[in-house]
Amino acid sequence: MRLGVKAALGDAHEMAALDVELLEVHLGLEDIPRRTEALASTFNAIRRERGLDVLVHAPEFMGPPSCPELVDLSSPDDGARALSLELLGRTIDLARALGSHLIIAHPGGIAPEERAARSRCEGLDRLERSLAPLRDRARDAGVLLTLENMPWFYFVKREEGVAPDGRGRRWVSTILVEPDDMDRLCDHVDGLTLDVSHGYLHDPAGGMAAIDGFLTRHKSRVLHLHLSDALPPDNEGLQVGEGCVDFASVLRALRGRDVTAVPEVIGGHRLGGRGFKRALEVLRRMLDEA
């Protein structure tokens, strides 16, 4: 298992100086429309100077800063879905320019609880239609397209909905929360990015059932990992060891496979990446024990 950290344009060189083998590029709201040249220049320089692999996480939001909306490849709104497709296409182009071999994208299907009763099946149908041209474009670019599994509760951190604690509005996910959805989607993408914190929070009560299901049924499709801890019902992105996730079982299950992983610890990039450093130390110790 090769370990890295998430990095944004503003802290790329600082994160690259950590003891890592790769960087997962975190794209913000305005990066694709305004900063692609700067991103390419910065991360290509890091690849040349340090020999690090680069992965790309597609943006979570799109649209003007004054009124952002979630990127949603399964949206029932044709306009929002078209904009999401365009943004993912441009993300693939950026990944190619960065020499990246893998992209992580969210499946969409996130909505306020009062609207979450919409048909999950219809959302999956729309997602399948969206993925077809994206996978072709990714293959032409030599980039692997992966989907990330989602937690039951999802905090949407957009300006008009941010709560006093900074966590945002609590919405819910309707797609790729359980392994069943990957049964349908696996032929439309190159693999799965398994987020263990999201997997543990597949249900308000929490538990390892969804993670175990993904590993049992789709282990060969797991290409990348987001590793952070979790506490039910909705506390994700915790420091490794500060929640309930059974990391040892995950690492044992993937032993011997050439997968990449980053500790997706909230705030881990602060203070020179202090939280990331701690997570990497703990994970490397666990890997030695596994």
- C-alpha closest to that of 56 among 18, 113, 96: 96
CA dihedral 282, 22, 276, 1 (to 10 degrees): -20
Cis, bond preceding 263 (omega within 30 deg of 0): no
Structure-token pair, residue 114: 């009062």
Given this model, what pLDDT does residue 163 score? 47
159: CATH:
3.20.20.150
Q: For position 289, what pLDDT does the model report?
A: 85
Of 108, 109, 93, 99, which is closest to residue 33 (Cα–Cα)? 93
As a whole number of angstroms, the distance between CA 223 and CA 209 comes to 20
What token pair was written down for 264? 């997706």
pLDDT along the chain (290 residues), means of 10: 96 97 95 94 96 96 88 94 97 96 96 72 92 96 98 75 59 94 94 98 97 96 98 96 96 93 96 96 91
Write out the residue range of the structural domain in which residue 12 sits.
2-289
> Which DSSP string corresponds to the chain?
-EEEEEE-GGGHHHHHTSS-SEEEEEP-TTHHHH-HHHHHHHHHHHHHHH--EEEEEPPSEES-TTS-EE--TT-SSHHHHHHHHHHHHHHHHHHHHHT-SEEEE----EE-GGGTTS-HHHHHHHHHHHHHHHHHHHHHHT-EEEEE---SEEEE--GGG--TTS--EEEEE-SSSSTHHHHHHTTTSSEEEEEHHHHHTSSTT--SHHHHHHHHHHGGGEEEEE--EEETTTEEEEPTTSSS--HHHHHHHTTT---EEE---TTTTHHHHHHHHHHHHHHHHHHHH-
Q: pTM, whole model, 2 decimals?
A: 0.94
| Distances from the Cα of 49 to the Cα of 11, 94, 143, angstroms | 16, 20, 22
Half-sphere exposure of 289 (CA within 13 A, CB side): 11
Determine contact, residues 60/90, Cβ cutoff 8 Å. no
Sign of CA dihedral 16, 58, 244, 234: positive
* Cα diameter, the chain: 50
Count how many domains the chain has: 1
**Residue 162 Ramachandran class (φ > 0 left, ψ -120 to 50 alpha, else beta):** beta
